[in-house]
Amino acid sequence: MNDTQHNSWIYGVVPAGASLKELERRPGLPEVWLVETSDLAAIVGDEPAQDASATREQALVHARVLEAAIVDAPVVPFRFGTVVAGGDEEVGTELLKGYRDQLSQLLARFEDYVQMTVKVSYHDDVVLQEIIESQPEIAELREQARGDEDLTRAVRIRLGELINAALEQTRALDANDILEELRPEAAAVAADPPETEFMVVNAPLLIKRARVQEFEAVVERLADEREERMHFTLLGPMPAFSFIDVQEPAWASSPS
């Protein structure tokens, strides 16, 4: 049945024989199956219907499949939208056999690791008050802005520049302090751009599977110590999305 489909949607690659029980336990996931060749297996599904309005949801589902798979086995994650023209036979020949060495090396390298992503954001009213109290020029200009409706545009621009500069300086110091506490638990740390103006840290970290609980305890401690100023969110375990970059192979194509 699977070999008759036009395109095979590739979620990722795991060791052959992997028992991905978590995929069966989690509700709301699409039907997927394993295509095995030698010591590798691809997590494969049907290509989703082409619907621009549903792309974000499809990307989230793609990530959720991989996050369920990593519970039971090491995973080389593939980018959202990677398809192989054809069915299981083509997946086995073109992907698993054609890129066996590269994929086997990646699985071996990341076998004992997962990605945990730490996101930290300021309580904006708290950090703005800190900035105002510590910067006399900002406090003075802010008072002027409150009391003078005709305040020049140049003064308002200057106020904005001073606040942004102070926020950047504060963010850099706080981010460095937090990451210094997290680095001892991590094999590698990446830095993603802030998602919002008041985000402090947006950091994927590569953590040993055996040390996930210890890492979670460190994050919980940091969150408790800084709860009056910041909010922490911890995502994972997940595949090492930020640390594995599978090159776009010649056989792969974007959904048409």
| 40-55 pLDDT tens trace | 999 999 988 777 667 8
- pLDDT (tens digit per residue) in 233-249: 999 999 999 998 765 44
How much is the average pLDDT of 164-193?
A: 95
Q: How high is the mean pLDDT of the chain?
A: 89
Q: Which pLDDT does position 249 carry in this prediction?
A: 47
Q: Are 59 and 5 in contact (CB under 8 A)?
A: no
**234/123 same-domain check:** yes
Q: Which pLDDT does position 254 carry in this prediction?
A: 41
* Residue 232, phi then psi, degrees to nearest 5: -105, 140
**105/137 same-domain check:** no
Domain limits at 7?
2-110+244-253
**22/128 same-domain check:** no
Return the percentage of the chain with pLDDT > 70, whole number.
89
Q: How many domains is the chain built from?
A: 2
**59/100 same-domain check:** yes
**88/146 same-domain check:** no
3-state helix, strand, coil in the chain (%, to 5): 45, 25, 30
pLDDT band at residue 159 under the 50/70/90 scheme: confident
What six digits make up the tokens of 228?
A: 């009056």
Residue corresponding to tokens 């408790």: 224
In angstroms, the first-to-last Cα distance of the chain is 22
18, 107, 136 from 89: Cα distances, Å: 19, 22, 70
**121/103 same-domain check:** no
